[in-house]
Amino acid sequence: MIRSFLFDILGDLIFPPRCASCGVRLPVPAGTRLCQGCKEEIQAVTPPFCSVCGEPFRSRAGINRTCGRCLKARPCFKKARSLFVYAGPVKELVRRVKFNDDGHALKALREIVEESFGRPVHSGGSVVIPMPLHRTRLIERGFNQSLRIALQLFPRDMVRRSMLKRVRNTLSQTGLSLEDRKRNVGGAFVVRYNGHPPDEVLLFDDVFTTGATANEASRALRRSGIKHVDVLTIARTVRWQ
Ligand SMILES: [Zn+2]
Ligand SMILES: [Zn+2]
């Protein structure tokens, strides 16, 4: 214990720790991966929000209720929830994990989840399905960021990496309208498992934008016989920002 503590201090002196988001030097021994300023900028998603899709309401008064969009077209998932607003340091950390394969940022994500929510993140269903990438995208990037983050947050034996497969390589969703996004992801997923389907699963992704991808993946899971699909993302874009 003392030995590992000394090694941590020596490591900090040789490679001074830096904030995983803004890069500012942290005091030694750091004991954290983010500076205080970045930590204070992080916004958790707080009620009131839509009890189905989790979209926070513009008015901070009142209770959770179903939003107009979910009333009009009920999503295939039971409920979607996100931990943080996709902005500031959270956005930076997710982007660093996704595009720079940054292990320091990956562990910083785990740190902010543990500090804000404790563990386990989800105590319900015993099966966590990371949102898959199409093979071509996986080869380009070299890894699936949703799988990497899921393995930081959930016990390894809960995470099923091959149950859901992305069979159509959808275009990047950025810059597409909601209708175009829905068309873009239609029929993109297949589900594979041996024996009986699990009763409920948790679909896990990095960012919830319009929910079109989560909805399409949930539709495929439901069609395969899984009764209950919940969605959890580390972050979500919030329209009222
Ligand atoms: Zn910082
Ligand atoms: Zn909703």
Q: Provide the residue ranges of all domains of the chain, joining segments of one domain with +.
A: 43-236
The model carries a pTM of 0.87
The 8-class DSSP code of residue 44 comes to B
Tell me how far the alpha carbon of residue 136 lies from the centroid of ligand 1, in angstroms: 34
- Report the C-alpha gap between 185 and 217 in whole angstroms: 9
Ligand nearest the Cα atom of residue 210: 2
Cα-to-centroid distance, 79 and ligand 1 (Å): 32
Smallest-distance ligand from the CA of 56: 2
Q: Which of 6-15, 18-27, 180-189, 199-208 has the lowest mean pLDDT?
A: 6-15
Q: Dihedral angle at the C-alpha atoms of 33, 37, 39, 40, nearest 10 degrees?
A: 170
pLDDT band at residue 179 under the 50/70/90 scheme: low
| Separation of CA 7 and ligand 1 centre (Å) | 24
Residue 41: nearest ligand to its CA? 1
How many angstroms is it from 233 CA to the middle of ligand 1? Answer: 22
* Among the bound ligands, the one closest to the CA of 55: 2
First to last CA, the chain: 45
CA of 34 to the centre of ligand 1 (A): 5
pLDDT at 171 > cutoff 80 = no
Predicted confidence band of residue 17 (pLDDT cuts 50, 70, 90): confident
Cis omega (within 30 of 0) for bond into 48:
yes
pLDDT tens digits, 199-229: 999 999 999 999 999 999 999 999 999 999 9
Rounded alpha-carbon distances, angstroms, from residue 181 to 166, 202, 214, 216, 241:
16, 22, 11, 10, 21
Say which amino acid occupies 240. W
User: Two tokens at 109?
Assistant: 């994500």
Question: Relative to the alpha carbon of 67, which ligand is closest?
Answer: 2
Residue 194 confidence (pLDDT):
84
pLDDT per residue as tens digits for the range 35-48: 999 999 999 999 99
**CA dist list (Å): 229 to 108, 125, 129:** 28, 9, 10
Lowest mean pLDDT, pick from 101-105, 125-129, 187-191, 237-241: 237-241
> Is residue 205 a contact partner of residue 231, using CB atoms and an 8 Å limit?
yes
Q: Higher confidence at residue 239 or residue 57?
A: 57
